[in-house]
Chains A and B, each alone.
Chain A
């Protein structure tokens, strides 16, 4: 089966700095990679996703990159704000099965 590894487990940045979270996957059949943000007391919410036929996708301050050859994908948040503080999860999906990373707790210090 698929194995998704996520790093780092915690990340602390100063407001305005950039944050990068990285994930690797093992199964080349995985073809869809969503990212979720989970705030305290809430369920994970989809923030951006990328399919295997695309190398990069941007949505305002967040972007995701995918390297299919190396089997890794990354979340980039620019100009971080205190409201970006949350736990972020990556996932890899193939054949309708979802495999999640273990999460990154991002703390943005004002």
Chain B
């Protein structure tokens, strides 16, 4: 299998549930990302992991908890979510250049997302 794979594709959960989203990349990249995509809003960056270390957390509520056990896998653990958290959650990977200020850039490769509905 190639590219970026996300599971599950669809998830319906109640506000008191705990669930996890899974992402796996087969591209040999060194950085992985979680984005939130809501209707009629730009893509919102949630978390960035570079070389398995979290390098960015865009003021995301603590009910979202990321985990990156290795450079190929990324999880997003969900608990006590709110209805407004319903959205498409996209995982992406890229090959970052050396250092945080590297001018080398490669494109993001996205998975097909998990459509989350919180009831």
Binding site for B on A (CB under 8 A): 31-32, 34, 36, 41-46, 49, 89, 91, 93-96, 98, 100-103
- CB atoms of A31 and B103 under 8 A apart: yes
Number of residues in B with C-beta < 8 Å to the partner? 24
24 A-B contact pairs sorted by A residue (CB < 8 Å): A31-B105, A34-B108, A42-B113, A43-B6, A43-B92, A43-B110, A44-B90, A45-B110, A91-B108, A93-B105, A94-B105, A95-B100, A95-B102, A95-B103, A96-B96, A96-B97, A96-B100, A96-B102, A96-B105, A98-B45, A98-B108, A100-B42, A101-B42, A103-B42
Residues of A within 8 A of B42 (CB): 100-103
> By DSSP majority rule, is chain B's interface helix, strand, loop, or mixed?
loop
Mark interface residues in B59-96 (1 if CB within 8 Å of A CB, else 0).
00000000000000000000000000000001010001
- Count A-B pairs with CB separation below 8 Å: 50
4 nearest interchain CB pairs? A43-B110, A32-B105, A102-B42, A93-B105
Bound-complex Cα distance A100 to B102 (A): 19
Bound-complex Cα distance A34 to B106 (A): 9
- CB atoms of B101 and A43 under 8 A apart: no
